[in-house]
C-alpha cells in the first residue's frame, strides 16, 4: 500500500516549503537499510547518540528525496528533495503508523508481557499461517520504533495481524496502543525482567495492560493473584487459563516424557488435548497461551492437536559458518516466509562485497498469496539485496520460477526436492560465494548444510555478534557523543575472527580499525572492508601492500618515518595518511621527546605524508595504583601534541585511551579511543556480555577404579571409582597444559567436571563422576557465559588476552546473530 507525500504531510501535520507528488512505498529510520531510495521516506530520528540528521547528505547522494526532520532550512541545500518538518520525527512516525492501522479492520492480536512475547508471536504464526494471511512484527520489533515499522507492513490482503509491544518506562504503552490498536489482547508471563524504569511490579503491570484499552478480549493466565485482580478491574471480556477452578480454560494435567509434553485442558466442559515437542516450563506456558488464543479464534480441538505437534523452536539465530571453497554460509534452515527472508537478506548483504551472493531457498509457506506474486516478490527482494544466483528447491518454487520469462538477471537453478539437489551436488559448483540457506522445516535443509560446510573438528569457538555490538554500545555510552572509536582487531580480532568481526563493526559504524601487521589489514581489504585501517607495526617489506591496499601505517620511529617517506616519494604519491606514535612510558614503540621537534619540522616541510592522528599507548591504565604514572604519560603526550601543533597547520585526531582507560579515566578520552578487549566482553564497565564460547564434545566415556591412572606420565591417579570422559580439545587447540591435574574444570550438562591428569595435544580427560547421563557426542563448554574466560586465565596463570589469541586456527569459528 502506498501513500503520496502530500497525504503523509497532512497525516503527520508537517510543514514543508514544497511537496512533490512522490509515491512512498517504504519508510526508514536506518540509513544503512535503504532498498528503494526513490520510494523511501526517511525519518531523521534523533536520540542521545545517533542523530539521523547526520545521514541526510549521504542518503541524498544515494537517491533518497523524501525526509521527515525537525531541522529547518534544508530545502535550499538539496535541490529536488522534500523536507517535511515536524517537531518530533519519532512522534510523526508513530502517527503515520497509527493512521495506517486505522484504515484496516482486520483482527489484530497485541502481545505484551515480560517474557515469551516473541515466542508466542512466532508460534501463533506457525499455528495459524495455514488459515490466515498473517502480518506480524519482524524479529523482536516491539519498541517505540519497532512497533510503527511493524504496523506499517499491513496490506489489504492480510486478514490477521500479530504484533508484540515492549516497554521500559511509564508512558510508553499508551503510544504503542494507539499504533497497534489490538482487538485481541494477549498477556504473557509477567516476570521480573525490565523493572528498572518502574517504581514497582504493580506499576509495570498496570502500564502493560494499557495495551488492551480497546481490545474485545484479554487472554491471560490467572494463576497469579495480582495479575488476575488487575485484569478483572478492566471492562474488557476475559479468557483466562490456569491451574485453578476460576480459570475459563482449566489446565487439568501436563505430563512430560523426555522429549514431549502432553497437555490436557478443559474448556466449556470439553477436553482439549495436545502434545508439544518441548518439556521446559516456559514452553509449556507459552503453548497453553497459544492454545487459548486458538480457542478464542474458534479453532477446533482437532486443529489445535494437529498443529501443536508441529511447533518448532523459534530460532532467531542466524549462523555464519565457513563454507567449502572459500564460501561463507548463512544457515537459516528453519523458516521460509517473506518477513524472515528480509532479515536473512540483510545479514547476507553485510557480508563481504568480494563474494558472489547466492540464495538456496525452498518453497515458501504463505497462505492466500498466489505463487506467481509470492515468488515475484521474493525475486525482487533477492535482487534488491544483490543476490546473483538463486537455487530453488521444491515443486512450487520450481514451477513458479520456470514460468517466468525474466528472472531479474539472476542465475537460476531449480530442483524438485532436497534429495535431488543432494544427489546432483558437487562441491566445485560453489566458490567464493556468500550462500544463504533458507528453507521450511519440511524440506530438511539441515541435510544440505553439511555438504556446504568446511569440514573441521568438533571444537568450535562461537562468537555472539549481538553481544559484540552490545559491548561496543556499552563503551559508547561511556564516551562523549563525538568521541570516535578505533576498534582494535589485531591478531585475528583477538582470536575471534578477522573479517567477520571487522565486517560487523563496519556495518555498525565504528570510525577506525587497528591491526598490528600489514598482512592483517590486507586480509580485511580483500574481504571488502572499507573503513580506514591503522597498521601499528609496518615493516619496510610491507610498504608495497600498505599502499596497494590503502592502509595507514604507524610512524613510530625516525627510521620508519624516513623509509616510508622515501617509499611514498618513489611512488610519486602525496599526502599519504599516516599516524604518529609518541613514546610516553610504555617503552615499546614511539618517538622519544628529543625527536619530536625534528619530526614536526620534517612533516611540515614536506607534503608526502598527512598526519591523520597522533597517539600514545598507556602501560598500566587498568591499575589504579599506577594512575600517577598514567597521568604522567598523558602529560608527556600532550607536550608532544603541542610541539606537533606548532608546526602542522591542520587538525589531527588525538588518542591515548585503551579499553581499561575508557572505563576508568574519562579525562583521557580526547578525540578517539582505541577499544580492544572490552569489545570481546572482558572489561571494567558494567553490562558487558561474554562474546566467545569455546565448546567441544565428548569422544568416549569410561568407568575406572580407584588407583588407576589417567593420561601421560600417570599423573592423574584416581582416588575412587570414577567416570572419566575424554573430550576433543588439547594444547594444540589452545587449551593450556597448566589447566591439567585438577587445576581447571569444564562444564558438562552445565556441571563442573575437573580436568584429570595431563592435558594432551588433542584431547583432555575430565571427571564426570556424579553427572548423570554423559554420553559420546555430548557438548562440553570450555569457557563461556557460565564459565568466564577470566577464570580460565587465572587457572592458567595468564590473562584473557593470551587465552583468546591462543585458540588455534583449527578451531572452527561460528558467528551468530540472534
Ligand atoms: C592492543 C592495543 C590496544 C587495545 O588494548 P585493549 O587493552 O585491548 O583495549 C590499544 N592500543 C594499542 C596501541 C594496542 O596495541
CA dihedral 164, 167, 172, 176 (to 10 degrees): 0
Domain stop point among 70, 91, 112? 91
Has 761 been labeled as part of a binding site? yes
- Domain match, 676 and 696 both: no
Give the integer Cα–Cα distance in Å for 719 and 706. 5
Read off the CATH number of the domain in which 163 is found: 3.40.1190.10
**CA–CA gap between residue 212 and residue 208 (Å, rounded):** 8
Classify each residue of 420-444 as buried b or exposed e, where b means 16 or more C-beta atoms within 10 Å of its C-beta.
Answer: ebeeeeeeeebeebbbbbbbbbebe
Q: Pick the last residue of a domain from 269, 286, 308.
A: 308
Whether 634 maps to a domain, the answer reads yes
Q: Is residue 801 part of a domain?
A: yes
- Domain containing residue 363: CATH number: 3.90.190.20
675 CA: nearest ligand 1 atom: 9
* Cβ neighbours of residue 704 closer than 8 Å, sequence gap 6 or more: 710, 718, 721, 722, 724
Q: Which atom of ligand 1 is nearest to the CA of 490?
A: 1
Do 84 and 108 belong together in one domain?
no
Rounded Cα distance between 534 and 577, Å, is: 9
Alpha-carbon distance of 307 to 289, in angstroms, equals 14
Residues forming beta bridges with residue 787, ordered by sequence position? 784
What's the CATH number where 752 sits?
Answer: 2.40.37.10
Answer yes or no: do 184 and 239 share one domain. Answer: yes
Residues 6+ apart with CB under 8 A from 189: 113, 114, 115, 116, 221, 282, 285
Contact criterion met (CB below 8 Å) for 327 and 432: yes
Q: Which residues pair with 237 in a beta bridge?
A: 217
The binding-site residues of ligand 1, defined as CB within 6 angstroms of any ligand atom, are 488, 490, 536, 617, 658-659, 674-678
Here the cell at position 308 is 501443536
168 and 30 within one domain: no
Spatial separation of the C-alpha atoms in residues 654 and 651, rounded to whole Å:
9
Residue 91 CA to ligand 1 centre (angstroms): 42
Radius of gyration of the chain (CA): 30
Residue nearest to atom 12 of ligand 1 (CA): 617
601 labelled binding-site residue: no
- Structural domain for 367, as ranges: 320-454
CB 575 within 8 A of CB 569: no
Distance 669 CA to ligand 1 centre (A): 14
486 Cα nearest atom in ligand 1: 10
Pairing of strands 722-727, 692-704: antiparallel
In a domain, 717, yes or no: yes
b/e string for 587-601 if b means 16 or more Cβ within 10 A? Answer: eebbbeeebbeebbe
| Of the candidates 415, 338, 329, the residue with the CA atom closest to the CA atom of residue 375 | 338
Residue 527: DSSP 8-state: T
Among candidate residues 308, 338, 364, the one where a domain is terminated: 308
- d(C-alpha 419, C-alpha 415), whole Å: 9
Task: Specify whether 30 is located in the same domain as 165.
Answer: no
Beta-strand ranges (E) seen in 587-691 are 609-615, 653-655, 672-675
Q: What is the DSSP string of 440-493?
A: -GGG-GGGTHHHHBPP--S-EEEEEHHHHHHHHHHHHHHS-TT-EEEEE-HHHH
Q: Do 506 and 618 belong to one domain?
A: yes
Active site residues: 490, 712
Specify whether the CB–CB gap between 766 and 782 falls below 8 A.
Answer: no
Count of domains forming the chain: 5
Answer yes or no: is 472 within a domain: no
Q: Name the residue of 468, 474, 514 whose CB sits within 8 Å of the most ligand 1 atoms, as the mutation to test its pocket.
A: 514
Residue 814's beta-bridge partner residues? 462
What stretches in the chain show pLDDT beneath 70? 48-49, 192-196, 315-316, 334-335, 339, 365-369, 405-406, 408, 455-457
CATH code for the domain in which residue 10 is found: 3.40.1390.10
Q: Is 372 helix (H, G, I), strand (E, B) or coil?
A: helix
The answer on 494 and 417 residing in a single domain is no
C-alpha 420 to ligand 1 mean position (Å): 51
Q: What is the DSSP letter of 317?
A: P
Q: Are residues 396 and 267 in the same domain?
A: no
Rounded Cα gap, residues 55 and 329, in angstroms: 31
* Residue of 589, 617, 676, 688 with the most ligand 1 atoms within 8 Å of its CB, for mutation: 676
In a domain, 186, yes or no: yes
Question: Residues 27, 152: contact at Cβ < 8 Å?
Answer: yes
Pair (697, 672) in one structural domain: no
CA dist., res. 227 & res. 155, Å (int): 35
What's the distance, CA 192 to chain centroid? 24
Residue nearest to atom 8 of ligand 1 (CA): 676
426 vs 430: CA distance, rounded Å: 8
Nine-digit cell string for 288: 497453553
- Position 473 in a domain: no
Report the residue count for the chain.
818
CA distance 572 to 549: 16
Domain-located, residue 465: no
Q: Does one domain contain both 613 and 709?
A: no
Query: Cα(51)–Cα(44) distance, rounded to whole angstroms?
Result: 7
546-560: burial string, b at 16+ Cβ within 10 Å, e else: bbebebbbbbbbeeb
Locate cell 497509527: which residue? 98
Helical H segments across 576-733, by residue range: 596-605, 627-647, 659-664
Q: Give yes or no: residues 577 and 514 share one domain.
A: yes
In a domain, 209, yes or no: yes
Question: How far is residue 412's CA from residue 390's CA, in Å, rounded to a whole number?
Answer: 5
- Report the chain's terminal Cα–Cα distance, integer Å: 30
pLDDT of residue 315: 65
Tell me which residue of 317, 336, 280 sits closest to 125, measured CA to CA. Answer: 336
Ligand 1 atom at shortest distance from the alpha carbon of 494: 8
Residue to mutate (ligand 1; options 493, 505, 554, 617; most atoms within 8 A of CB): 617
Examine the domain organization and report whether 425 and 494 are in the same domain: no
Amino acid at each position: 500500500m502506498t501513500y503520496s507525500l502530500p497525504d503523509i504531510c497532512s497525516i503527520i501535520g508537517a510543514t514543508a516549503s514544497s511537496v512533490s507528488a512522490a509515491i512512498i512505498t517504504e519508510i526508514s529510520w536506518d540509513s544503512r537499510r535503504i532498498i528503494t531510495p526513490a520510494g523511501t521516506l526517511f525519518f531523521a530520528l534523533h536520540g542521545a547518540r545517533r542523530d539521523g540528521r547526520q545521514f541526510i547528505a549521504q542518503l541524498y547522494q544515494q537517491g533518497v528525496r523524501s525526509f521527515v526532520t525537525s531541522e529547518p532550512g534544508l530545502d535550499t541545500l538539496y535541490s529536488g528533495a522534500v523536507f517535511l518538518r515536524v517537531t518530533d520525527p519519532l512522534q510523526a512516525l508513530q502517527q503515520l503508523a497509527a493512521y495506517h492501522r486505522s484504515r484496516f479492520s482486520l483482527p489484530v492480536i497485541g502481545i505484551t508481557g515480560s517474557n515469551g512475547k516473541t515466542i508466542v508471536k512466532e508460534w501463533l504464526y506457525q499455528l495459524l499461517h495455514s488459515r490466515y494471511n498473517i502480518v506480524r512484527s519482524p524479529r523482536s520489533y516491539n519498541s517505540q520504533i519497532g512497533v510503527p515499522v511493524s504496523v506499517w507492513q499491513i496490506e489489504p490482503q492480510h486478514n490477521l495481524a500479530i504484533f508484540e509491544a515492549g516497554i521500559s518506562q511509564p508512558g510508553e504503552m499508551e503510544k504503542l496502543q494507539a499504533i497497534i490498536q489490538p482487538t485481541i489482547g494477549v498477556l504473557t508471563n509477567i516476570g521480573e525482567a525490565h523493572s528498572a524504569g518502574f517504581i514497582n511490579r504493580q506499576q509495570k503491570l498496570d502500564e502493560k495492560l494499557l495495551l488492551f484499552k480497546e481490545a474485545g478480549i484479554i487472554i491471560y493466565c490467572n494463576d497469579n493473584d495480582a495479575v488476575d485482580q488487575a485484569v478483572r478491574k478492566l471492562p474488557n471480556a476475559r479468557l483466562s487459563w490456569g491451574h485453578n477452578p476460576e480459570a475459563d480454560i482449566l489446565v487439568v494435567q501436563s505430563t512430560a516424557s523426555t522429549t514431549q509434553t502432553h497437555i490436557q485442558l478443559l474448556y466449556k466442559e470439553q477436553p482439549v488435548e495436545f502434545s508439544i515437542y518441548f518439556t521446559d516450563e516456559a514452553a509449556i506456558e507459552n503453548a497453553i497461551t497459544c492454545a487459548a488464543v486458538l480457542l478464542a479464534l474458534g479453532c477446533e480441538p482437532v486443529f489445535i492437536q494437529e498443529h501443536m505437534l508441529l511447533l518448532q523452536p523459534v530460532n532467531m539465530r542466524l549462523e555464519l559458518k565457513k563454507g567449502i571453497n572459500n564460501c561463507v554460509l548463512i544457515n537459516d534452515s528453519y523458516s521460509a516466509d517473506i518477513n524472515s527472508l528480509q532479515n536473512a537478506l540483510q545479514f547476507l548483504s553485510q557480508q563481504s562485497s568480494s563474494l558472489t551472493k547466492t540464495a538456496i531457498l525452498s518453497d515458501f509457506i504463505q497462505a492466500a498469496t498466489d505463487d506467481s506474486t509470492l515468488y515475484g516478490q521474493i525475486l525482487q527482494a533477492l535482487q534488491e539485496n544483490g543476490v546473483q544466483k538463486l537455487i530453488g528447491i521444491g515443486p512450487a518454487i520450481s514451477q513458479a520460477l520456470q514460468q517466468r520469462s525474466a528472472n531479474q538477471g539472476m542465475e537460476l537453478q531449480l530442483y524438485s526436492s532436497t534429495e535431488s539437489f543432494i544427489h546432483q551436488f558437487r562441491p566445485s559448483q560453489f566458490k567464493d560465494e556468500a550462500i544463504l540457506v533458507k528453507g521450511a522445516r519440511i524440506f530438511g535443509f539441515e541435510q544440505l548444510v553439511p555438504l556446504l560446510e568446511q569440514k573441521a573438528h568438533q571444537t568450535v569457538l562461537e562468537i555472539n555478534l549481538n553481544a559484540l555490538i552490545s559491548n561496543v554500545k556499552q563503551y559508547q555510552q561511556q564516551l562523549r557523543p563525538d568521541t570516535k572509536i578505533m576498534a582494535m582487531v589485531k591478531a585475528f580480532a583477538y582470536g575471534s575472527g578477522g573479517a567477520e568481526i571487522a565486517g560487523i563493526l563496519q556495518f555498525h559504524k565504528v570510525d577506525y580499525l587497528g591491526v598490528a601487521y600489514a598482512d592483517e589489514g590486507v586480509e580485511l581489504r580483500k574481504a571488502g572492508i572499507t573503513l580506514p585501517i591503522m597498521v601499528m607495526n609496518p615493516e619496510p617489506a610491507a610498504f608495497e601492500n600498505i599502499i596497494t591496499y590503502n592502509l595507514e601505517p604507524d610512524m613510530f620511529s625516525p627510521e620508519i618515518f624516513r623509509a616510508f617517506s622515501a617509499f611514498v616519494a618513489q611512488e610519486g604519491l602525496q599526502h599519504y595518511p599516516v599516524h604518529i606514535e609518541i613514546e610516553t612510558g610504555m617503552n615499546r614503540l614511539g618517538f622519544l621527546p628529543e625527536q619530536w621537534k625534528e619530526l614536526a619540522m620534517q612533516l611540515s616541510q614536506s607534503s608526502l605524508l598527512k598526519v591523520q592522528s597522533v597517539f600514545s599507548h598507556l602501560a598500566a591504565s587498568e591499575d589504579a595504583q599506577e594512575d600517577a604514572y598514567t597521568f604522567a604519560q598523558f602529560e608527556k603526550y600532550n607536550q608532544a601534541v603541542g610541539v606537533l601543533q606548532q608546526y602542522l597547520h591542520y587538525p589531527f585526531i588525538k588518542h591515548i585511551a585503551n579499553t581499561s582507560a575508557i572505563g576508568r579515566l574519562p579525562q583521557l578520552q580526547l578525540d578517539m579511543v582505541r577499544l580492544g578487549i572490552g569489545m570481546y566482553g572482558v572489561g571494567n564497565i558494567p553490562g558487558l556480555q561474554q562474546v566467545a564460547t569455546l565448546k567441544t564434545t565428548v569422544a568416549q566415556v569410561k568407568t575406572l577404579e580407584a588407583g588407576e591412572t589417567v593420561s601421560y606420565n600417570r599423573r592423574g591417579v584416581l582416588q575412587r571409582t570414577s567416570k572419566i570422559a575424554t573430550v576433543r580439545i588439547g594444547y594444540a587447540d589452545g587449551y593450556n597444559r597448566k589447566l591439567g591435574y585438577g587445576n581447571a574444570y569444564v562444564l558438562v550438562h552445565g556441571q563442573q567436571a575437573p580436568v584429570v591428569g595431563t592435558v594432551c595435544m588433542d584431547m583432555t580427560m575430565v571427571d564426570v563422576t556424579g553427572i548423570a547421563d554423559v554420553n559420546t557426542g555430548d557438548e562440553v563448554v570450555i569457557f563461556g557465559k557460565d564459565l568466564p574466560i577470566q577464570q580460565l586465565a587465572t587457572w592458567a596463570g595468564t590473562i584473557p588476552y593470551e587465552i583468546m589469541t591462543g585458540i588455534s586456527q583449527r578451531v572452527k569459528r561460528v558467528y551468530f546473530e540472534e
